Amino acid sequence: MKSHVLTKALFQWMTALALVVSGAVWAANGVDLNQSPEVSGTPEGSVRMPKQQERMALNYVNQPPMIPHSVDGYQVTTNINRCLQCHGVEHYRTTGAPRISPTHFMDADGKVLSNVAPRRYFCLQCHVPQTDAAPIVENTFSPSKGFGN
């Protein structure tokens, strides 16, 4: 039991440290977190998020699909989830949006629920809008074989 508590405390400490380090990296690279992502001009460092675009190829197995449209102003709170107004099981047929995955209705134990599982309710934790932004930090990532462009 004690090892579980220590493991949990270590995980929480490492998560907090990762958040602090990532914030420092963003600050060092001059990322303005207050900048609206709906920038249409061409100033250096601006990000263009089109209203709608083709879905991008996935880069690895089980990658959450990226969002091919702007989510500026979308509300995703404990009471409202704007994403489900188009992607929910009651609406996707009339909106033409992809249906939410059945995996989003399973709890941590694999039990199927009648509504979206709480751990899958906040879509923007995993699904991010596509953009033409350059990487914040240079890297050598390449998609898994058979994925990506």
In a domain, 89, yes or no: yes
The pLDDT value recorded for residue 46 is 53
Is-above-0.85 flag for pTM?
no
In a domain, 7, yes or no: no
Residue labelled with tokens 């709170």: 77
3-state SS track over the chain: CHHHHHHHHHHHHHHHHHHHHHHHHHHHCCCCCCCCCCCCCCCCCCCCCCCECCCCCCCCCCCCCCECECCCCCCECCCCECCHHHHCCCCHHHHCCCCCCHHHHECCCCCECCCCCHHHCCHHHCCCECCCCCCCCCCCCCCCCCCCC
The pLDDT value recorded for residue 105 is 93
Q: How far apart are CA 97 and CA 69, in angstroms?
A: 11
Structural domain that includes position 60: 55-139
The pLDDT value recorded for residue 104 is 94
The pLDDT value recorded for residue 48 is 55
The pLDDT value recorded for residue 99 is 92
Q: Which residues of the chain have pLDDT under 70?
A: 1-6, 10, 16-53, 148-149
The pLDDT value recorded for residue 87 is 92
Contacts of 101 (CB under 8 A, 6+ apart): none
In a domain, 43, yes or no: no
pLDDT per residue as tens digits for the range 55-72: 777 888 888 988 988 888
In a domain, 82, yes or no: yes
Nearest to 129 by CA among 55, 70, 41, 48: 70
The structural domain count of the chain equals 1
In a domain, 45, yes or no: no
Residue labelled with tokens 């490492």: 14
In a domain, 102, yes or no: yes
In a domain, 129, yes or no: yes
The pLDDT value recorded for residue 82 is 92
The pLDDT value recorded for residue 36 is 44
The pLDDT value recorded for residue 39 is 41
The pLDDT value recorded for residue 100 is 92
What are 40's two structure tokens? 């249409």
Domain of residue 128, CATH code: 1.10.1130.10
What are 100's two structure tokens? 């939410």
130, 47 contact by CB (below 8 A): no
